[in-house]
Structure 1
Amino acid sequence: MSEQRDQPGRTRFLTVLEVAEVMRVSKMTVYRLLHSGELPGVRVGRSFRVPQDALDHYLATSPAVEAREQAHGQERQTS
């Protein structure tokens, strides 16, 4: 079976653990985001899968990420 990376146009789905590792947060934080609807996911049986595109969009538009980037920009300007 070939991996999805070899098939352009196919959505890659991440496990909760993979999302937690990318975001450097706990699995419980990812579950909270999924249950609140802040992070879109698909339920497969008793587990969740998160589309890679949804994670990328969440990280790009997250207020916490934007605030951190603005803070780093201010640090660079004052240095």
Structure 2
Amino acid sequence: MKLRVTVMPKNGVLDPQGKAIGHALGTLGFAGVGEVRAGKVIELELAETDPEAAKRQAGEMARRLLANMVIESFSVELA
């Protein structure tokens, strides 16, 4: 079963990569771009066949390794 874990900086946490992307977009002439936040997407393929059990397992992986829970939040979805 394929899952997608999206990890993003929590609100209020500085995001220098997002700021740099936003600035670069403005430099390239893309007007009207508001706040930009940059994160990461991790795709997992698990042997688990039960969707809810797979989501729980991926959530545990995110809490223990994939996300820094102090400054990042995550979401898990079926891919």
TM-score normalised by L of structure 2: 0.29
TM-score normalised by L of structure 1: 0.29
